[in-house]
Amino acid sequence: MSARLRAADVAVGTELPEQTHRVTRADLVRYAGASGDLNPIHWSDRVATSVGLPGVIAHGMLTMGLAARTVTDWAGDPGAVVEYQVRFGRPVVVPDDDTGAEVTVRGKVGAVLDGGRVRVDLTVTSGGEKVLSLARATVALA
């Protein structure tokens, strides 16, 4: 079991452990079913290319969900996230192979707020390009 992080242990600039996630077509199918988002741009190349995308793309909400783990694993309690927002800047294209795409998540404490809360700023990239922008979470630490 993870221990809850204490506000006294962090400061502006504290870096969160980096995480890299591999996303394959199977992950997209699993997320589609779990979330109820059955939009075919997340599983059909035919539909994705017909609307001008380079191919099947990951659900933005899947990328947002993966990125949250960097924060929740660090904080030690997923219930500590009181605010979480992202802007979907660029799609994560997921090829139809066994390798899929890689999503890398880095986080840094951007501000220490009142009441044991901190703001974490996330940098989320795939293939060297930023896929989320203005990605930040407010976390209530113990």
- Give the interface with other proteins as residue ranges (CB under 8 A): 1-2, 4, 21, 27, 30-31, 33-37, 51, 60-62, 64-66, 68-69, 71-73, 77-79, 81-88, 134, 137
What amino acid is encoded at 64 in this protein? M
Nearer to other proteins, 10 or 75 (CB): 75
Tokens, residue 52: 């001008």
Can you tell me the distance from the alpha carbon of 51 to that of 41, in angstroms, rounded to the nearest whole number? 8
Q: How far is the CB of 18 from other proteins (least distance, A)?
A: 15
CB of 32 to other proteins, least distance (A): 9
Instruction: State in angstroms the smallest separation of the CB of 106 from other proteins.
Output: 17
Q: Given the complex with other proteins, which of 11 and 85 has the nearer CB atom?
A: 85
Residues 6 or more apart from 27 whose CB is under 8 A from it?
Answer: 58, 62, 94, 100
Whole-angstrom Cα distance, residue 105 to residue 124? 5
